[in-house]
Chains A and B, each alone.
Chain A
Amino acid sequence: MNLQALSGQLLVGLINGSFYALLSLGLAIIFGLLNVVNFAHGALYMMGAFAAWMMATYLGIGYWWALLLAPAVVGVIGVVIERLLLRRLYGLDNLYGLLLTFGLTLIAEGLFHHAYGNSGNSYPVPEFLQGGVRLGFVYMPIYRGWVVGVSIFVCTLSWYVIEQTKLGAYLRAGTENPKLLQAFGVNVPLMFTITYGFGVALAAFAGVMAAPVYQVTPLMGSSLVIVVFAVVVIGGMGSIAGSIVTGLGLGLVEGLTKYLYPQASSVVVFVVMAIVLLIRPAGLFGRER
């Protein structure tokens, strides 16, 4: 065992975990309130990255503005999807929501592929965050550190808003009993729309964060989405804290696997998921309903 290499791998795992956490957070919020399994999450993440790239290429908008604008744009697309399509499926088996969003994923990936091909496009690391520091055991690019920091900040903030504020209380109440909440005079359909828009914006935000690190391609989210699903399921569907903690934790597990048996790194998530579900049916942080 090479301790230095291992700690390096774990750190890299943590970085990937931050992306998982950001994505699974959005997925968990959407599932929690809307009971929709949003398969399009990966595609929306891709669209976030593409939005940033397009803003830079066509409009000359830099990273910092993109970090704000891209999630807004994709969030609006999310609102449209919710208003026009998803809304018609509430009250049905959530299988239909899954299938609808799966279809949307195919459409989005196909269209972007048609327009931009598959090799993808490079998005530069913002100048301010270029370079790296030697942490003794590993060379840490500053940008990656930034990713971890921002992701943990955003996740904590979302968790705080949902679990500790009045707005969050409405949201949680909506999850438990939407009819009752409606009776109290809360505009539940609007809340659903906003929630979906927010969850989607989070995915796009993760996409912008990922753009400088990965190549911006139409398929960048396609293999990610089922991993993120697994993360949410392990954490407990609908559990906000669960999805954040599991996202980070699974990044670490993956890092460990990459150190011990790299070929299995893409499957370890599913093994963990199957084991967790068999022992704790509602996931690590979920409540049995």
Chain B
Amino acid sequence: MLRVTRTLVVTLAALAATGAAAQDKVSDNVVKIGVLTDMSGYYSDLAGPGSVLAARMAAEDFGGKVLGKNIEIVSADHQNKADIASNTARKWFDEEKVDVIADLVSSSTAGAVMPVAAEKKRITLLSGPATTAFTGEKCTPYNVHYTYNNWALANGTGREVVKQGGDSWFFVTADYVFGKSLEEDTTKVVKAAGGKVLGAARHPSPGTTDFSSYLLQAQSSGAKIVGLANAGADTVNSIKQAKEFGVTPKQSLAGLLVFISDIHSLGLDIAKGMYLTTAFYWDLNDDTRKWSKRFFEKHKKMPTMVHAGVYSAVSHYLNAVKAAGTDDADKVIAQMKATPVKDFFTKNGKIGPDGLHRHEMYLVRVKSPQESKAPWDYYQIVKTIPPEEAFPSVEAQACPLVKK
């Protein structure tokens, strides 16, 4: 019975799709993709211009056209400000016929744009931000959280580090919503794995350059692991000064959100030995190497997981538009959720009804300068975390869209 109904539904959906295609349903005769990112601030290296490039590459590789209509990429700088992000999104939807917004690095900007997009029935493809709640309490029907989230980071790094004996933690946390939620998520994981948390020091962010006093607190706590619940320049400075003050190698650092761009700017000598979780690394296999080398030729830097995620998300979106025969958000998002993702980014990705893209994550260890054989040869893969372990299950998320 069940199977019959399902077949019926699929057939109906297919019928609906062909019907739509016949009517040629691309709004405004163009599929417009907006990349809303931080072009000049703290996150501009890990997202920013690289994300715009990734979206462009995705459009070009698709042939520049979908359903016979042009694909257009626009971009804007949200300066990490929630108000600018929400204004730009509103303007894009109202005035410039943007169909989908990608990247949205930094959680505050994504949190501001998602409700606007939902209200206007447009799709958001989050690649940069981290907040787990985007597919939990704050979920919207038109959102895909594509690349990573706090839960995955906390889980990947937290659980593995405890397993390897790092069972007492002290956090150095950026004093804002992202940092605090990352600290919270990791605390849960550490405790669940049998470790204990000895304390946390919160620093103002952005704007702190000297972390020595927070690191001293970490040092005097005697914890085996110092968890860095911050991002970008904050993390980089923390790592650098941890070495300076002799926190490492006596205690170990666990970078909860570290990008390859951070490692590149720190240098291996300072970063070596650190564990971190990432959704993408350029040197995983032939596919990743091939794509990344192309990216590198244009950008002069290897892609971060955000960049790769933007490319993959945009491609997946365009494929869904093609398959659904329309750029109507309801149909496209249904198509995106119904189709597994299979490309260089993931072999085995699925977008759940809550909008979370579940795919493999990788726990890596940063190589020492001696181990590194070539430029950008930075990570050693410690463990490939399968999708069902890497991300929270649909049931564990509190997304109101998903009826239990």
Contacts and interface: CB of A to CB of B under 8 A. Distances in A.
A7 B101 CA distance: 50
Contact of B236 (A12, A13, A215, A266): A215
A190 interface: no
Contacts of A220: 209
A156 B46 CA distance: 43
Interface in A217-233: 217, 219-220, 223-224
Interface stretch (A171-179, A256-264, A278-286): A256-264
A110 B40 contact: yes
Given A119-B232, A119-B262, A214 B237 contact: yes
Interface string B240-251: 110011100000
B45 interface: yes
Interface size class of A (residues with CB under 8 A): 35 or more
B385 interface: no
A258 B219 contact: no
B225 to A, nearest CB: 18
A9 B267 CA distance: 28
Contacts of A16: 210
A122 interface: yes
Contacts of B41: 118, 219
Contact of A118 (B213, B233, B237, B266): B233
A132 interface: yes
B204 A265 contact: yes
Contacts of A119: 45-46, 232-233, 236, 261-262, 264-265
Interface in A119-156: 119-122, 125, 132, 138-139, 141, 143-144
Nearest to A139: B246
B207 interface: yes
Contact of A217 (B40, B208, B233): B233
B350 to A, nearest CB: 32
Contacts of B244: 125, 132, 141, 143-144, 213
Given A214-B209, A214-B237, A8 B246 contact: no
B341 to A, nearest CB: 29
Nearest to A143: B244
B233 A9 contact: no
A263 B175 contact: yes
A220 B240 CA distance: 15
B46 A5 contact: no
Contact of A262 (B203, B265, B266): B203
A4 interface: yes
B44 interface: yes
A258 B213 contact: yes
The 10 closest A-B pairs by CB, nearest first: A119-B265, A223-B207, A258-B213, A266-B204, A119-B45, A139-B246, A117-B45, A12-B212, A8-B216, A12-B213
14 contacts: A4-B220, A5-B216, A5-B220, A113-B44, A120-B233, A213-B210, A213-B244, A214-B240, A215-B209, A219-B42, A258-B214, A259-B213, A262-B201, A263-B175
